[in-house]
Amino acid sequence: GDSVTQMEGPVTLSEEAFLTINCTYTATGYPSLFWYVQYPGEGLQLLLKATKADDKGSNKGFEATYRKETTSFHLEKGSVQVSDSAVYFCALSEYGGATNKLIFGTGTLLAVQP
């Protein structure tokens, strides 16, 4: 079945460092791809999405490009802040009939130090 694999954490960076969190997927069709973020004590929030190959999703300085040839959707940010500390989940949306359930990776904890 469809699945998502993302790099294990924790990822510890200093403020203003460059961030990359790797995500690869396996899917039989052409899924939509998402990054969700979970700040401490809060629910999951959509960070960005891409719905077809070569689309680039972006939000709050984060970017990810849907790469069909490498089945990847890596998350990047040029300069992280302490406030970016959170757990990041890569996910795909599998479509079959009326369902659009999300299939998540295991999450990557990011800790940004001042």
Nearer CB in complex with another protein: 23/80 = 23
Q: How far is the CB of 15 from another protein (least distance, A)?
A: 27
- Residues linked to residue 20 through DSSP beta bridges, in sequence order: 76
Nearer CB in complex with another protein: 1/114 = 1
As a whole number of angstroms, the distance between CA 95 and CA 22 comes to 23
Q: How far is the CB of 106 from another protein (least distance, A)?
A: 5
Among 1, 3, 4, smallest CA distance to 64 is for 4
CA dihedral 87, 39, 32, 75 (to 10 degrees): -50
Q: How far is the CB of 98 from another protein (least distance, A)?
A: 5
Q: What value, to the nearest 5°, has the Cα angle with vertex 50 and ends 9 and 81?
A: 45
Most distant pair of Cα atoms in the chain: their distance: 47
Chain residues binding another protein by CB under 8 A are 4, 32, 36, 41-46, 49, 51, 89, 91, 93, 95, 97-107
Q: How far is the CB of 108 from another protein (least distance, A)?
A: 10
Nearer CB in complex with another protein: 58/93 = 93
Nearer CB in complex with another protein: 12/14 = 12
